[in-house]
Amino acid sequence: NKVIAHRGAWKKHDVSHNSMSSLKYAIELGCEGTEIDVWMSADDIVMLSHDHAIGGKVLEETNADELSKISLKNGDYVPSLKETIEYIKKQNKTKLVIEIKGTQVGKPIADSVVYLVHRMKAQGWVNYIAFGLEHLIRVKELDPTADVAYLGSDKTLEELKAANMTGIDFHYNLYFKDTDLVNKAKALGLSTNVWTVNKEEDLKTILEQNVDYITTDEPELLFKILDNK
């Protein structure tokens, strides 16, 4: 159905993004995917957060046990990727789209994410995205079958294909500037995702371009538009 809930389905439910509740609501909606952001804790546990710090704690400088005690809305706490995968594997409709983050040199976050996914036999539930192309290249080295899409705008489609990417995940402005971008990507065998589209008119415009996926903070609105179509 093309719908990727951005950091889960949180906006209409007064829950925190990147929380277990936002994941649950995305699954209940029937989204094709739910995007999450991951960082490595100081003791090398993969944790969910959009920013490098949460609750006044820098993720890469704080142990996972301490991070997991930071409270979020609706009685949630900062979850680990392990918890998230355990939950996503209870169903077969919604995938995890894992955005790999991280800044510290020597923190092999791509390795940790992929090893965890494989240990939990969750390859079929997971796609990977990142602004750091090096993360995605490493994912493909570890798992040649992985679905990886680049978020940045500093590479050509040909360069991304040569880097072994399976798709692009570009800001919607790039699709507006080049209305043939989807066709160009598909001609190279690249899947197409677009972020983060929230206005009704923009969602309708993007749908007309026949992209594969649409990442949005408004999954309910996108489902309504799709139902009307």
pLDDT in tens, the chain (229 residues): 999 999 999 999 999 999 999 999 999 999 999 999 999 999 999 999 999 999 999 999 999 999 999 999 999 999 999 999 999 999 999 999 999 998 776 779 999 999 999 999 999 999 999 999 999 999 999 999 999 999 999 999 999 999 999 999 999 999 999 999 999 999 999 999 999 999 999 999 999 999 999 999 999 999 999 999 8
Write 178-186 long-range contacts (CB < 8 A, 24+).
179/209, 181/209, 182/209, 182/210, 182/211, 184/157, 185/157
Distances (CA, A) of 155 to 63, 67, 119, 147: 35, 35, 32, 18
> Is-contact 74 90, C-beta < 8 A?
no
**Structure token pair of residue 9:** 């389905």
Determine the pLDDT at residue 105. 67
DSSP H or E segment with residue 171:
strand 167-171
The position carrying tokens 């159905």 is: 1
CA dist., res. 127 & res. 215, Å (int): 13
